[in-house]
Amino acid sequence: MSDHVAIVTGGTRGIGAAICHKLKGLGYTVVANYGGNDEKAQAFSKETGVPVAKFDVGDYDAVQDAVARIAEEHGTVDVLVNNAGITRDGTLMKMDREMWEDVIRVNLGGCFNMAKAVFPGMKDKGWGRIVNIGSINGQGGQYGQVNYAAAKSGIHGFTKALAQEGARFGITVNALAPGYIDTDMVAAVPEPVLEKIVAKIPVGRLGQAEEIARGVAFLCGEDSGFVTGSTLSMNGGQHMY
């Protein structure tokens, strides 16, 4: 895969970092996007050798500029993993318009902005892989997350529609919906709450970021050429449909 250039958004921490590790190990040229913590991003880059690029995936113009720079430095981007996401949790009664718009702008709008930027290069090359990271909560909903669940559910619909557009150009578009994964975000959940979450997972444990990365690697590779418009659910059996 040494001739493939991949961007992983939200790629310096948690699931995104595991995806970067996995793709780099398979020979991809990987660039990790991040949006905030410069110190952690630079530490990640130093540790892994993966270059980082700071830009807001929810800002259309910033994405266009950043992808153009990455393509100029590394080559045409033909693998995109839309992993960046934020939460602004609260029940509908407590959620203000800004909390709603922030999550939709980054989590769903970011997928559009990134795909829009890389799609022409993939089309010209006649090959591309787009993998959008959804969520179990976009499939089954979650109390206090109408914004997050709506954005992640939108990602699944976005994936199916774009897959139909990309197929004739050799571009596959798929989604992966993780369940509860043992990341810093989940580790911050109070222990009693976490115990209740794990009790609802049939396999009896949280998932590992590396497991999600292996699923993403399959969807990015040559072996998945006949898979498009699909959502790979990796949640330990917590949600089945």
Give the residue with greater pLDDT, 137 vs 162: 162
Which whole number is the average pLDDT over 95-118?
Answer: 96
**Residue 239 counted as domain residue:** no
Among 51-65, 138-152, 220-234, the minimum mean pLDDT is found in 138-152
**Residue 46 counted as domain residue:** yes
Q: What pLDDT does 239 receive?
A: 84
- Number of folded domains that form the chain: 1
**Residue 42 counted as domain residue:** yes
If phi > 0 it is left, if psi is from -120 to 50 it is alpha, else beta; for residue 232 that is: beta
Catalytically active residues are: 148
Reduce the DSSP state of residue 165 to 3 states and report it. Answer: helix
Percent of the chain with pLDDT over 90: 81
Nearest to 73 by CA among 111, 42, 115, 31: 31
Q: What pLDDT does 3 receive?
A: 87
Residue 193's domain spans which residues? Answer: 5-234
pLDDT tens-digit readout, 55-66? 999 999 999 999
Give the residue with greater pLDDT, 238 vs 80: 80
Alpha helical stretches, state H, the chain: 14-25, 38-48, 60-74, 97-103, 109-125, 136-140, 146-166, 184-187, 191-199, 209-220
In this predicted structure, the answer to whether residue 92 has a pLDDT above a threshold of 80 is yes
Residue 6 β-bridge partners: 30, 79
**Residue 63 counted as domain residue:** yes
**Position 103 confidence tier, pLDDT thresholds 50, 70, 90:** very high
**Residue 241 counted as domain residue:** no
Do 156 and 178 contact (CB within 8 A), yes or no? no
**Residue 240 counted as domain residue:** no
> Whole-model pTM?
0.94
**Residue 56 counted as domain residue:** yes
Q: What pLDDT does 1 receive?
A: 57
pLDDT tens-digit readout, 116-145? 999 999 999 999 999 999 988 778 878 888
Here the CATH number for the domain that contains residue 70 is: 3.40.50.720
Q: What pLDDT does 235 receive?
A: 84
Q: How many CB atoms are located within 10 Å of the residue 99 CB?
A: 17
Among 64-78, 107-121, 137-151, 197-211, the minimum mean pLDDT is found in 137-151
Which whole number is the average pLDDT over 37-47?
Answer: 95
Q: How many CB atoms are located within 10 Å of the residue 214 CB?
A: 13
CA-based diameter of the chain, in Å? 52
Q: What pLDDT does 191 receive?
A: 87
Reduce the DSSP state of residue 171 to 3 states and report it. Answer: strand
